[in-house]
A = this chain, B = another copy of it.
């Protein structure tokens, strides 16, 4: 069970976002910490210290309230929120999303993925099978030591239990591979998977046995496929929405040169 919204931020902003999520959740749960459990927030992070003045600890708890208030169905991608300072394959990365509706026998389920992309060197970048990173020439590569990682959050309405969600989460690493990453040494890649099915009141005490729906394992492959593909697509989306950013100490993360990229995809028979 997840107690709070899931927060994404930069490494040393974890504490502020955790505090913000605790305060936000406490305000809406007057029994929390008294009759009900205390709040354990869910926060994850990547290290944006190449662009960000990370030592300044600029993320504050009140930004959590602002972010939740601004939440909408129209999710912006790229250099927004936690994505502001992220760098992916030496280009400007950040927030990316992707989703699929998956047909299984007798039903349809949705897989929705959001990534915070902050990993990889340019020479590794693969888009739709084409080693774009090695071929791009129009933009100078920043001199930086790549040491980043990625967060992937996977949401589904498929009725999955903890074991199945864990299997789903592992497939995000396969999507990451499709974009060229080998999850280098600096990576502390995190995958979080949750289902919105089988929601129960944790504090109900009337029943000791609940009745849950559960997808049969034989139908998992379609969800795995969607997770792999959406993770890769969300990463590429984060790059296509990235624009050149100059950060602290004049460190630069160039935006992916979209025209040149599309041209490369064409010459390799992908478009």
Chain A residues at the B interface, C-beta cutoff of 8 Å? 10-12, 14-16, 18-19, 22-23, 26, 32-34, 37-41, 47, 49, 54-55, 57, 61, 104-107, 126, 128-131, 147, 159, 161-163, 170-171, 173-178, 181-186, 200, 204-205, 207-221, 224-225, 227-228, 249, 267-270
Contacts and interface: CB of A to CB of B under 8 A. Distances in A.
A113 to B, nearest CB: 14
A96 B185 CA distance: 27
A153 to B, nearest CB: 19
Contacts of A177: 173-175, 177-178, 228
Contacts of A215: 208-209
A49 B23 contact: no
A221 B129 contact: no
Contact of A214 (B12, B130, B209, B218): B209
A32 B55 CA distance: 8
A57 B22 contact: yes
B12 A182 contact: no
Contacts of A57: 19, 22-23
A181 B11 CA distance: 32
Given A37-B147, A174-B183, A182-B221, 16 more contacts: A10-B38, A12-B22, A15-B16, A34-B249, A105-B205, A106-B207, A126-B129, A161-B161, A162-B162, A171-B183, A177-B177, A178-B178, A208-B219, A209-B213, A209-B215, A210-B214
A3 B12 CA distance: 12
Nearest to A188: B40
A44 B209 CA distance: 32
A130 B128 CA distance: 8
A207 B216 CA distance: 8
7 contacts: A12-B38, A15-B61, A33-B49, A37-B49, A178-B178, A185-B220, A211-B212
Contacts of A171: 182-183
A15 B18 contact: yes
A47 B38 contact: yes
A162 B161 contact: yes
